[in-house]
Amino acid sequence: MNRVGLYVHIPYCKRKCRYCDFFSVTNLLSTDGYVEAILREARRYQGEDFSIDTVFVGGGTPSLLGESEWRKLMDGLRMILPIESGAEISVECNPDSASEALFALWKELGVNRVSLGVQSLNDKVLATVGRLHDGKSALVAVNNACKVFDNVNVDYMVGLPYQTVGGVQDDLRRLLSLGVSHVSVYSLILEEGTPLYTSVKKGEITLPDDEVAVDLYDAAVATLEAAGFQRYEISNFCRAGKECKHNLHCWQLYPYIGLGAAAHSFYGGKRYAHPCDLDRYMLGGEPIPEDCENDRRGEAVMLGLRTAEGVYLSRYSELFGRDFTVDFAAALQNPTIQPCLVVNDKSVSIRPEYLYVSNGIINIFLDCLE
């Protein structure tokens, strides 16, 4: 029986962060009807020959759902879909909407991994980018989560206004001292059309330059590695055995189902996506096919080369019936990137010291598909 991952998108937010261009809505009046729509879509897969070994409820801000909605969602999914008893079940939350009572509820409902969007512990940084919490409330939320769960992730961002190397190091040490087992470190991407983009272009806010941004990322990496965390993907670090199984599942292009507005799926060998349209979704809108083989081969390379393990040659052959070393011979023989690669009879990966500049390397591989 095939194992399938399940992603559930909860698009609601109290307020959109100033750097965010993800799909979200701030009108919370439709949450109960949205849960009903999620379960309606789940029924489309009822009776299929698979089991679900990972569940990830992301957003948006899933922690904005009320207790009755959480019970309806989790109990409904278990009744409709074959979720394994030992499945990894992750839920995202923000510190401003996290509480001890919510964590206890999630534990009761079978959640066993929590991810908190901390981003920074510096109040000035947080206020500048539009986060609703402050450093103190973030620490309280993380501490409460670690009391209930033994697998807690925090999302942290580098490249934000007013950040310093010392500040990043201090933030991460304080978070690690609470017992988190996983840290995701994301570099700020200044997206056109966001309020932060407008402020930067007007000169109202100054971001760290590229050299400083690299220093901030390097400081985060060094701090985490000194604490015994392993980097298993360019942005993801964990204690031994605490990798996010759902993410690994997706990065290796194993099938996953996405439920909800803006959710993506890779199922039956094809990719599907729901448009970023809440009304359409709640009226029963179907996901839209969106791939071709070149797109999927490019995705396999892009996702694989971002991980420490790299692209498994046998997995690539299994997916596409092709030889990776033939398809990407030009990249593998490119003298510019050869020193950056580890190539053996099992996989192709990027050396750890070059992961931060992996985009340029990956683009050379993707050029082979044109």
The answer for residues whose C-beta is within 8 angstroms of residue 197's C-beta and 6 or more apart is: 190, 191
Q: Are residues 234 and 369 in the same domain?
A: no
Across the chain, what does the average pLDDT equal? 96
pLDDT per position as a tens digit, 233-283: 999 999 999 999 999 999 999 999 999 999 999 998 889 999 999 999 999
Domain termination residue (choose one: 231, 249, 267): 249
Closest Cα to residue 311, out of 260, 266, 348, 267? 348
Q: Three-class SS of residue 369? A: helix
In DSSP notation, 49-60 reads: SEEEEEEEEEES
Q: Are residues 244 and 327 in the same domain?
A: no
Domain termination residue (choose one: 201, 217, 249): 249
Q: Are residues 203 and 323 in the same domain?
A: no
Q: Residue 2: is its pLDDT beyond 80? A: yes
Q: Are residues 234 and 319 in the same domain?
A: no
Domain span at 224 = 2-249
What is the value of pTM for the model shown? 0.95
d(CA 136, CA 317): 49
**Number of domains present in the structure of the chain:** 2
d(CA 58, CA 93): 8
pLDDT of 269 reads 86
Residue 300 lies in a domain: no
Q: Residue 4: is its pLDDT beyond 80? A: yes
Domain termination residue (choose one: 205, 225, 249): 249
Q: Residue 1: is its pLDDT beyond 70? A: no
